[in-house]
Amino acid sequence: MKQISFLLFIAILFGSCGTHPMASAATDKVGGDTTIVESLFDDKSSSISEENIRKLLDGTYQLPASLRIAIVRLGTSKQRRYFWNDEYFQKSQQSYLDSFTVRLRSSHRVASVSVVPSIMMASTPSFTSIREAAVRMQCNMVLVYSISGDYYSRYNLFKNPDLKAFATTELLLMDVRTGLIPFSTTVTRDVLTRKTKDDLDVEQTRDRVLNEAALATINDVGSRIVSYLGNP
């Protein structure tokens, strides 16, 4: 009888020891921490390690006190086709660069502004090639922008046609040392006009209204970037 009681005690003891871990595991599963702290995507083509991604997202960024800015313009052949005259197109592009340069130099934080020559850039530049071009020019920041636009006409029977153009400017500012992009913006503006006596033909009116729309976006973007840069 004592032997049976002893065996029963051993069975109860092992049974109770087996139930506690299961209960604890169930509790951990229900109330445990489910915070995601790293990527769950198997991206073998990623150029940034998981450790560096965490450092970049958890770190802080400080804009340098003195900025040497390189300007890179990204353009397309489609944009050129909007202009009937290649000379007018080139002059328009130069006016956009001049506007950006004047705006940037108005900030006391900006020490110099340089334009990256097109011969230094590939037809489809990458962030790496843009960064390397800025390094060669000893610039610690690079401003990249792109302008796109289009127009349409609304003809009137007894009047000159209404011409409306819209332009969109996309801009980003990249820190050459870190590769980070602390500022980016996109602005779209439109302009409505008619042919004037100073316009030789409707094609010239079209070029003028496209240029006006593009300059309107640049003025807006320029104000935003200067406001972001502020003063040291």
Q: Is residue 118 part of a domain?
A: yes
Q: How confident is the model at residue 27 (pLDDT cuts 50, 70, 90)?
A: very low
**111-129: pLDDT as tens digits:** 999 999 989 988 888 999 9
- How many separate domains does the chain show? 1
C-alpha–C-alpha distance, residues 217 and 105, integer Å: 18
Question: By residue range, what is the domain housing residue 186?
Answer: 67-229
H-type helices in 44-147, by residue range? 50-58, 77-81, 86-105, 127-136
| More confident call, 230 vs 169 | 169
- Does residue 92 form part of some domain? yes
CATH code, domain with 185? 3.40.50.10610
Report yes or no on 58 lying in a domain: no
- pLDDT of amino acid 104: 93
Amino acid at 169: T
Asked if 157 and 179 count as a contact pair (C-beta separation under 8 A), the reply is no
Which of these ranges, 15-24, 120-129, 154-163, has the smallest mean pLDDT? 15-24
89 within some domain: yes
Residue 226: is its pLDDT beyond 70? yes
- Residue 133: what pLDDT? 94
d(CA 171, CA 221): 8
Chain center to CA of 103 = 20
In this structure, is residue 154 part of a structural domain? yes
Asked if the structure places residue 220 within a domain, the reply is: yes
H or E segment and range at residue 145: strand 141-154
pLDDT per residue over 50-91, tens digit each?
888 888 888 999 999 999 999 999 975 455 555 555 777 788
pTM of the model: 0.73
The answer as to whether 96 is a domain residue is yes
98 domain residue, yes or no: yes
The span from the CA of 218 to the CA of 98, in Å, is 10
